[in-house]
Structure 1
């Protein structure tokens, strides 16, 4: 059933050749986000840090923009709490994880291609400026992009950075991913992402 709903969402979000209005673009971005998290969310394969951080912001009545305006020390405090809670997540078996990730990687190819198309046509999406009602995090899609796309993503986000259409946190997170996730700066990057 979940696969049928996803297919309907994907087909509904495809409007070939025409320029999308803000509401339609928000719908596509939201659907891409759902696809990006589809199998990851089924068994919480990914680190739940952002979900916990979002919950902490909600509990403290902070919007994303208000959170982004907090001092680095305050953001770090939220990040430490979110990390502590996220680390309590139960683990699934390696076989289950591997099976679900094979399916998720197929979706990652599609979502990356679609987001590249959107960024080239509209610039890096700012869901707050677009006034998206449903949650969408375009940086996560590029943050899960297969290696095949890394060079293309790098060119695109460099162009977007020069045009001031991508936030610093989103930019750093994507660069960390396409750089092979080698350095240990992710905890600092995670709490700066808007």
Structure 2
């Protein structure tokens, strides 16, 4: 009798999987976002042109709106200086870039699997409705997903769209990615995110 009772308790505890609170879900989503950007966000892999340009604008005691009102020639002069400074920065080798991107892809696999698990359990997360304090962009996880997951992601986001749980912009970005990142002539969406 004790063995049956113990077996019953084990079975019940296995089935009664704990549901995450909104706060816990936000933390997971925020961590997934950080993983998604971990190596992508490295200064060494990005062109710091606009950071340098903003610094030059500030160093000349100009606001962005004042800079925007400058004659085109002066704006171009600022741009040339910013490009010269940016290009003088030592670059990492192609081999190092490849190595970092391999590490990022490993994170992408894990993050994609975790987000698929979350979407299946809770629906596509709306970080505003969840009132997440830290920034999280779940669409970016699927937007950087490895090809092996594309069919599964396509099925799941179609389901989420029909259920009204994914906003149009997130849906289009994910579809663009899983469609091979080809520009759709009928949509002409502009992609501003990595």
> Would you call these one fold, judging by a TM-score over 0.5?
yes
Counterpart CA distance in 1 for 2:44 and 2:178 is 22
1:74-106 Cα shifts (integer Å, max 9, x gaps) = xxxxxxxxxx9xxx7766542221110000000
**Residues 33, 141 of structure 2: 8 Å contact kept:** yes
Q: What's the TM-score once normalised by structure 1's chain length?
A: 0.64
Query: Is it true that 1:190 corresponds to 2:181 in the alignment?
Result: no
Q: SS at 2:38's partner residue?
A: helix
Counterpart CA distance in 1 for 2:99 and 2:152 is 28
- RMSD in angstroms over aligned alpha carbons? 3.1
Q: CA deviation at 1:122?
A: 0.5
Q: How many residues align?
A: 142
In structure 2, relative to structure 1, the CA distance for the partners of 1:168 and 1:99 (3 Å cut) is: same
Matched with 1:130 is: 130
Matched with 1:101 is: 101
- Segments of 4+ in structure 1 off by > 4 A? 88-92, 184-187
Q: Which runs of 5+ in 1 are unaligned?
A: 1-15, 49-58, 61-83
In structure 2, relative to structure 1, the CA distance for the partners of 1:140 and 1:99 (3 Å cut) is: same
Matched with 1:5 is: none
Q: CA deviation at 1:41?
A: 1.3
Query: Is it true that 1:168 corresponds to 2:171 in the alignment?
Result: no
- Aligned pairs for 1:76-87 (under 5 A) are none
1:56-90 Cα shifts (integer Å, max 9, x gaps) = xxx99xxxxxxxxxxxxxxxxxxxxxxx9xxx776
Q: What's the TM-score once normalised by structure 2's chain length?
A: 0.64
Query: Is it true that 1:140 corresponds to 2:140 in the alignment?
Result: yes
Query: Is it true that 1:180 corresponds to 2:169 in the alignment?
Result: no
Q: Based on CA coordinates, which of the two structures has the bigger radius of gyration?
A: 2
Q: Which runs of 5+ in 2 are unaligned?
A: 1-15, 49-62, 65-78
Q: CA deviation at 1:189?
A: 3.9
Q: SS at 2:40's partner residue?
A: helix
1:154-194 Cα shifts (integer Å, max 9, x gaps) = 00000000001001000000000000112267983436x9x
Q: SS at 1:41's partner residue?
A: coil
